[in-house]
Amino acid sequence: MPVLLLRLPWSAIRARRKTKLALDETSVVTYRVRLTDTDWYGHMNNGRYLTNLDLGRTDFCVRIGLFSIFTRLGWRPVVAGATVRFRRSLNTFTKYTMSTRLLGWDTDWWFFEQQLHDSEGKLAGHAWVKVAVMKDRGRGARVTPDEAIAELGYTGEPFVLPPKIAHWQSSGVG
């Protein structure tokens, strides 16, 4: 946890220096597997994948403008579900890239897809993440995605959730 408390603000600061993204664009960040990310076997621990996925979503939210809205209104994103598939190991000190994109939203949830690729470009991990946004610094009622989208000023067409996400959501896993 202490490592994340340092890395999350740093990710937000780095993201502010990058170009803004549109809601339908993909955020790509590069990291290196740190000693604090690894287990006894010298590769990234499965729990660290989830922690590092937070960093990718932070970059995305800062770059589309949501992070400043969260800060101004006292909203907090809360992960409500995630499914991660591990494809190959990310060894200590290996560089990797993480891509984050918004797949869409329904009346309650935001759905993200995140991928991690090793230094050779091979898929190392894939995740679907379901997120709620809460009012009152995370202690209040849920913010509907439509409310947050309105705050962003997005006037485009709503994203249509892929059938695989609807199935994931209805299965009770997500």
pLDDT in tens, 140-174: 789 999 999 999 988 888 888 899 998 888 877 66
CA angle 30, 8, 104 (to 5 degrees): 75
Architecture of domain 2-170: Roll (3.10)
DSSP bridge pairs for 141: none
Is 1 a residue whose pLDDT tops 60? no
Reduced to 3 states (helix: H, G, I; strand: E, B; else coil), residue 22 is coil
Residue 3: which H helix or E strand, with range?
helix 2-16
Between CA 79 and CA 4 the distance in angstroms is: 15
The predicted pLDDT at position 120 comes to: 95
Residues 6 or more apart in contact with residue 98 via CB below 8 angstroms: 28, 29, 30, 31, 52, 53, 55, 56, 114, 115, 116, 117
Is 125 a residue whose pLDDT tops 70? yes
Domain map (residue ranges) of the chain: 2-170
The predicted pLDDT at position 48 comes to: 87
- For range 61-87, the mean pLDDT: 92
pTM of the predicted model as reported, rounded to 2 decimal places: 0.89
Q: How many other C-beta atoms can be found within 10 angstroms of the C-beta atom of residue 57?
A: 23
Share of the chain above pLDDT 90, in %: 56
- For range 39-50, the mean pLDDT: 89
Based on the number of CB atoms within 10 Å of its own CB, is 96 exposed (0-12), middle (13-18) or buried (19 or more)? buried
